[in-house]
Amino acid sequence: MNPFGARLEGSVLGRVFIGSDWQIEVGNFFYSTTFMIRALFLTKYDRKAASARLRMIQYFPLLEKEGISCQLSPLLDDDYLSRKFSQGTTSLSKPFQAFFSRSGAILSAGSADVVVIQCDLYPYLPGFFEALLRSRKIPYIYDYDDAIFHYYDMHHSAFVRRFMGNKIRNTIRGAHAVLAGAPYLVEYARAINPNVEWSPTCIDISRFRTKTWRDDSIEPFTIGWIGAPTSAQFSAEAMPAIRELSKRMPIRVVFVGSGPVFYEGCEVEVREWSESTEVAEMLRFDVGIMPLPDEPWTRGKCAFKLIQYMACGLPVVASPVGMNNDVVTHGSNGFLVASTSQWLSAFQALANSVELRRQMGAAGRRIVEQGFTTSLGGAKLLRAIQSVPSVASAFAKGAHLNR
């Protein structure tokens, strides 16, 4: 608990994380008893989205212990994301509501000591929100885990390319610091801003039990995939090999979180994703897969599926695209494969040897423990926030910074 006691302060639209609880605002004020630095997190989505949950929200307790009050203001709520994934459509009023909510958050951002922008303040809108922060000299940190600059600079519309092609570039240029989730994103950002750090999406390793391998198991070899419906299409890369494998031995194919998927000649068991059951679902797998086509967009993927599988002690098979190459050591914790024959060979090797699965799974778990845990990811976010000059000065003086 910091020594400066309680204070009553003007709020920014959103919610406040205090201790281990979310405090709902009352009127235009919230009551805080412990913090000295105020950080406003402007995310695209709320907790249901992995990017917000794992790159921002899960670090709030750590930041709070370091004297940083964390306030979350998502552009779109969990209901929006649930409807989008389950129905494919959303209410037409949601984008308008989101615009006014985000406008209020930006206008109130002056009460924060630092702003953290996650991905995009408002997609497919010229960057005047970002420009407003810069014009008001409000320091911000930019965090991204997808090649979202390609939303604009490679868009099929010449209008979007012309008027928004540099949107993300300008956001990165104006940031005090940039946290990038994959090497491809680091490379892009470092050409614009010198203060860039690779910050992979990390996990709370204590949540992840490891697979218990049984030499006498009579269950069919289970190939598993986990993710959002928007990335399920990439699994097509592995399907020819899976179909061929199914002709040679009994197998089961399980997709978690994909929504309905249909592949001719291959029966897929689709399971609903939830934060509380995701680990149990993955423990049903014998191998976790991450197929990707080699395209500009996919090169910015952060290999988070692989990190999750490996945390569960599973071997992995993945396309040699983007960060997959940094996570998988071929033949040690899994296989990197680029053709149907290579996918098939990898599956057969794992299906025929429980010991190989056990050894690769253990190697993968060690990699996660050494490089992809919340203690490491949280330290990078904390360091970025503390590097803002006004914040660093406040910590050095040991007194609250008042604007």
Question: Tens of pLDDT along 45-54?
Answer: 998 888 999 9
Q: Report the pLDDT averaged over residues 137-152.
A: 97
Note the pTM of the prediction, 2 decimals: 0.88
How many structural domains does the chain have?
2
Of 202, 199, 234, which Cα lies nearest the Cα of 50? Answer: 202
Cβ 52 vs Cβ 42: under 8 Å = no
Considering the domain boundaries, does residue 335 fall inside one?
yes
- Domain ranges, residue 358: 205-371
**Do 121 and 188 have their domain in common?**
yes
23 bridge partner residues: 16
**Average pLDDT in the 382-397 region?**
89
Q: Is residue 337 part of a domain?
A: yes
Q: Are residues 133 and 174 in the same domain?
A: yes
Banded pLDDT at 86 (limits 50, 70, 90): low
pLDDT of residue 90: 65
pLDDT value of residue 7: 34
The b/e string for 90-125 (b: 16+ C-beta within 10 A; e otherwise) is beeebbeebeebbeebbebbeebbbbbbbbbbbbee
Q: What percent of the chain has pLDDT above 90?
A: 76
Sheet holding 177-180, edge to edge: 21-23, 15-18, 68-72, 37-42, 114-118, 140-144, 177-180, 196-198
Same domain, 169 and 255: no
**Cα separation of 375 and 360, whole Å?**
24
Q: Do 192 and 83 lie in a common domain? A: yes
Statement: residue 244 has pLDDT above 80: yes
Instruction: Please indicate, yes or no, whether residues 342 and 382 belong to a single structural domain of this protein.
Output: no
Token pair, residue 172, equals: 């990165």
- Given a cut of 70, is residue 160 above it in pLDDT? yes
Tokens standing for 18?
A: 């205090």
Same domain, 358 and 322: yes
